[in-house]
A = this chain, B = another copy of it.
Amino acid sequence: MTTGDAEQLGRRVWAIPEGFIPGRSSGDDPALRSHETVSILNAGDADAHVEITVYFEDRDPVGPYRCTVPARRTRHVRFDQLDDPAPVPRDTAYASVVRADVAVVCQHTRLDSRQAANALLSTVAYPG
């Protein structure tokens, strides 16, 4: 069993059609505030320079949001913490595309804490 195949693990473009950050949360714990995340895994030996573009139903796309995922690291990017070039609005349907200059793997997760009990969803993104 070699580890060499990890160097190329994944794809350079990923799509997440579903996006919605609930505007309300219950409780005061920041970790339990309603949010959406794209988890990016870079299992390779080169840093990944990542650009996220956000698409809406009724206006032009916003982005790119830029971040770096170092070699052999993961980064869990919270959409509600993106602010450059602009915050992602809450209670608004959106979608996103993640592009990197090396292969990565992306998974999408939402924590919805509008009720006292949380709800979760997650799916591996679509590899473009």
Asked if A76 contacts B57 (CB within 8 A), the reply is: yes
Given contacts A15-B105, A119-B120, A127-B126, contact A55 B39 (CB under 8 A): no
Chain B CB within 8 A of A21 CB: no
Consensus secondary structure, chain A interface: strand
Chain B CB within 8 A of A101 CB: yes
Q: Interface residue tally of chain A, by bracket?
A: 35 or more
Identical chains bound together, number:
4
Q: Which of B20, B118, B126 contacts A115 (CB 8 A)?
A: B118
Q: Which residues of B contact A111 (CB under 8 A)?
A: 119
Q: How far is the CB of A78 from chain B (nearest CB, A)?
A: 10
Asked if A18 contacts B1 (CB within 8 A), the reply is: no
